[in-house]
Amino acid sequence: MAVKIREQLFFITEQTAGIVAAAGLAATWSDNYRYQVPQDRKYIFRPGHTFSGSFNNSTGAPAADGAAVPPKPAGDFVDAVDRVMIQLRDSSENQRINILQDTRYGLVRHFVDRDLIRRFDITEEVEATAGMWIVIMLLEATVLVPGDVDSYFSLSCDIVKQTIM
């Protein structure tokens, strides 16, 4: 029996199994999206890897008078977020590494343009191994509702998987 190690480009998104979304507090740094690295994986973040995100606070929740609030039209971004930061944390969450420093929200909203897309603030590769946390932190102008269908992000990295042959 042989173990084969594969490394390939991977995108962690709001749809990735295991992502935990949580509401934050207005005007406070909050852990809005958290992901714990599974036991059989390792993620490698390199200087050329990128992060893009669009965070919206439209919920369609009932208004104070009980009437439903219609969802925001596609492309209508609510300024719910002022700044974004991404941290890697050990399993106890005591040691932290910022792979994306405190960044204005407007600088992470580009998904396609290679000249504008936001790259990580690291000069050498950083590994997130089993048990570590990948945390997307937002400084919110208003409370962002977790799991909002109009909120999405894409975090690029390399994934390392072991397969037994």
Residue 165 has a pLDDT of: 62
What does the block give as tokens for 26? Answer: 């207005």
Domain that holds residue 153: 3-56+79-164
Q: Is the pLDDT of residue 30 over 80?
A: yes
51: CATH: 2.60.120.1170
Q: 3-state class of 52 per DSSP?
A: strand
In the chain, the number of structural domains is: 1
Q: What are phi and psi of 105, to 5 degrees?
A: -55, -40
Task: Identify the band that residue 9 occupies on the pLDDT scale cut at 50, 70 and 90.
Answer: very high
- Whether 139 maps to a domain, the answer reads yes
- Whether 92 maps to a domain, the answer reads yes
- Whether 145 maps to a domain, the answer reads yes
Q: Is the pLDDT of residue 5 over 90?
A: no
pLDDT tens digits for range 137-151: 998 877 776 667 778
Sheet holding 29-36, edge to edge: 20-21, 29-36, 133-140, 81-89, 96-104
- Whether 18 maps to a domain, the answer reads yes
- Whether 142 maps to a domain, the answer reads yes
- Whether 94 maps to a domain, the answer reads yes
For the full predicted model, state whether its pTM sits above 0.75: yes
* More confident site: 22 or 126: 126
Residues in a beta bridge with 154: 13, 52
- Whether 29 maps to a domain, the answer reads yes
